[in-house]
Structure 1
Amino acid sequence: MNNINVNLYMSILIRKIKERDFENGFFETLSNLTTVGDIYSNDELKKEIIRRVLENQNHIIIVAEDLESSKIIGTATLLIEQKFIHNGGRVGHIEDVATRKGFEGRGVGREMIHKLTEISNEHGCYKIILDCDPNVVKFYEKLGFVKKAITMRRDL
């Protein structure tokens, strides 16, 4: 993927996740979004999940790697859904956008969303949708997203 100068102080590489990212701060970055749990200490489960993700061309996890430190400072997921509507169109679902604590506001999230938009276009998606917390709505609006619907949820 691309090397990107996010600002004058930092250069990052946005790329697909690799298993080695587990040791370079992936879970620390993801935990800035929500509770990760004990998965970081379960090597078998991590290997099984990464294997499934990498085998599925419609499940794409990207990371932002700080080229100076080799640490993962951002992550985001794109799930591509095949539809029957819109002549068999495809929809990109963005999930789990997280920036490592201390790297917020530096353009990392913006660059990851740009990359997922590019990938969605390459996969022929006619739209991209995401759910977000109300306090980051303005961030997504700046990137061209609009409020469109109400999200409903049922925990199981």
Structure 2
Amino acid sequence: MMMPTELIFDPKLLGTKVQAKLPENLVIRPLSSTDFNSGFLDCLSGLTVVGDVTEEMYVKRFELMKRTLCKHVVVVYDNTCNRVVATGAVFVEPKFTRECGLLGHIEDVSVHPHYQGKKLGALMIEQLKDLCEVLDCYKISLNCNTNNIPFYEKCGFSKKEQQMVIYL
């Protein structure tokens, strides 16, 4: 498969370490503007409520994320069935603290149910951590539900503080 031309960020930022650990039919790459029709939102729906997102909405959000350079969405794409089978993202928050450092937030890690149990989640986390390092983040944080704490601890994270939310 050729690499899509309209990507959310430069694929060179991903390196080749994680790709070398994937089966030959799977490619790890940045999100593409054409992934709306490749099952990207289906993959995300295993994680949270996606809602009724039209292709127009998808393209507008993709363009906004691409312009801001703060959201780096990564997908694992299966060339045999032409589908996104896993996804994860890093939101880079510019800070005034830590000498105007960058804080990486890992978000939206999801693996399609048919691909779970193949270590794709752990490989996605490894790729996102590597990406944060390339982007020169001083720290990586993530929020998860209690059931996923053991998984993220295996990926090198440790529990710290508590999250508070208000849904509007």
Preserved CA contact (<8 Å) 1:29 1:100:
yes
In the alignment, what sits opposite 1:19? Answer: 33
Report the Cα distance in structure 1 between the residues aligned to 2:92 and 2:145, rounded to whole angstroms.
Answer: 22
Query: Is 1:100 the equivalent of 2:142?
Result: no
Preserved CA contact (<8 Å) 1:4 1:11:
no
Query: Is 1:52 the equivalent of 2:64?
Result: yes
Query: Is 1:76 the equivalent of 2:88?
Result: yes
What secondary structure sits across from 2:115 in the alignment?
coil
Alignment identity in percent? 32
Report the Cα distance in structure 2 between the residues aligned to 1:111 and 1:119, rounded to whole angstroms.
Answer: 12
Structure 1 residue 53, shift from structure 2 partner: 1.3
Select the residue among 126, 141, 156 that pairs with 1:114.
126
What secondary structure sits across from 1:79 in the alignment?
strand
Structure 1 residue 54, shift from structure 2 partner: 1.6
Report the Cα distance in structure 2 between the residues aligned to 1:107 and 1:4, rounded to whole angstroms.
Answer: 14
Preserved CA contact (<8 Å) 1:6 1:107:
no
Stretches of 4+ aligned residues off by more than 4 angstroms? none
Q: Which has the higher strand share?
A: 1
Q: How does 1:25-40 map to 2 (within 5 A)?
A: 25-39=39-53
Q: Aligned letter for 1:94?
A: I
Give 5+ residue unaligned stretches, structure 2.
Answer: 1-13
Preserved CA contact (<8 Å) 1:17 1:63:
yes
Q: How many residues align?
A: 152
In the alignment, what sits opposite 2:6? Answer: none
TM-score calculated relative to the size of structure 2: 0.84
In the alignment, what sits opposite 1:140? Answer: 152
Preserved CA contact (<8 Å) 1:30 1:75:
yes
Of the structure 1 ranges 137-146 and 82-91, higher mean CA displacement relative to structure 2 is found in 82-91
TM-score calculated relative to the size of structure 1: 0.91
What secondary structure sits across from 1:102 in the alignment?
helix
Query: Is 1:152 the equivalent of 2:164?
Result: yes
Structure 1 residue 57, shift from structure 2 partner: 1.6
**Root-mean-square deviation (Å):** 1.5
Of the structure 1 ranges 54-63 and 139-148, higher mean CA displacement relative to structure 2 is found in 54-63
Deviation per residue, 1:34-90 (Å, 9 max, x gap): 111110xx2221111011112222211111112322210011111101111111111
